[in-house]
Amino acid sequence: MSPEDLVKKNAEMETPAMVFTKEHAHLVKEGEQWMKTTSEACSITAALIVTIVFAAAITVPGGNNQEKGIPLFKKEIAFTVFAVCDAISLFSGASALLVFLSILTTRFAEMDFLVSLPRRLIIGLCALFLSTASMMVAFCAILFLAFCDQRPWMLAPIGGLACMPIAVIVTLQLPLLVDLFKSTYIPIFGKQSDIASGKFISNHTTWAYEL
């Protein structure tokens, strides 16, 4: 529409933006409900992961040296892998939990659904995936160290079983992430920053109008 039409009012003294907001109010409510349900479910999962990996971090597998308190498996490569992956899982899980909590406490305004809320959900889902994958790698490392007597042939079945939950979460969450990324960063009406700020630039003329 032309710039003049953006500020014109109808018989009820409503601008096009006001009419659009009124006619799509139910979509805002539905989007808010879906966003809250998704964030609550993901925050519960993130909280469980954080609890598990924190307990694993303070309960050192194999025990400690009674005199110095140093872990007995400190020099083993598998123990180093476990420590690094457990720390990554803890930090990324805590970050995902905080992101989902920030979604639950937001105001859910109409413009928030354009960039802010989808961006937070993308960050939270990516952090949750990283936390889950790191947790599985840490579990496999300590399982190989503590129960497999360092037999290399056991790495294949352990690694294969560890890939199952990772493949499940990727299969289920990847389509959602792709849709969120496309709708947030590949808009069909131009740059999201221009739309969010009320700035519309014509492709056929040299003028620009800013609300």
Range of the domain at 30: 25-54+72-210
Tell me, yes or no, whether 17 lies in a domain.
Answer: no
pTM of the predicted protein model: 0.74
User: Residue 201 above 70 pLDDT?
Assistant: no
Number of domains comprising the chain: 1
User: What are 64's strand-pairing partners?
Assistant: 71
* Distance between CA atoms of residues 84 and 90, nearest Å: 10
Report the first-to-last Cα separation within the chain, whole angstroms: 14
Residue at 63 is within a domain: no
Percentage of the chain modeled with pLDDT above 90: 21
More confident residue, 173 or 60: 173
pLDDT in tens, 144-193: 777 666 677 777 787 788 888 888 888 888 888 888 888 888 866 555 45
Report the largest interatomic distance among the alpha carbons of the chain, rounded to a whole angstrom: 85
**Could you tell me the two tokens for 4?**
């003049």
123 within some domain: yes
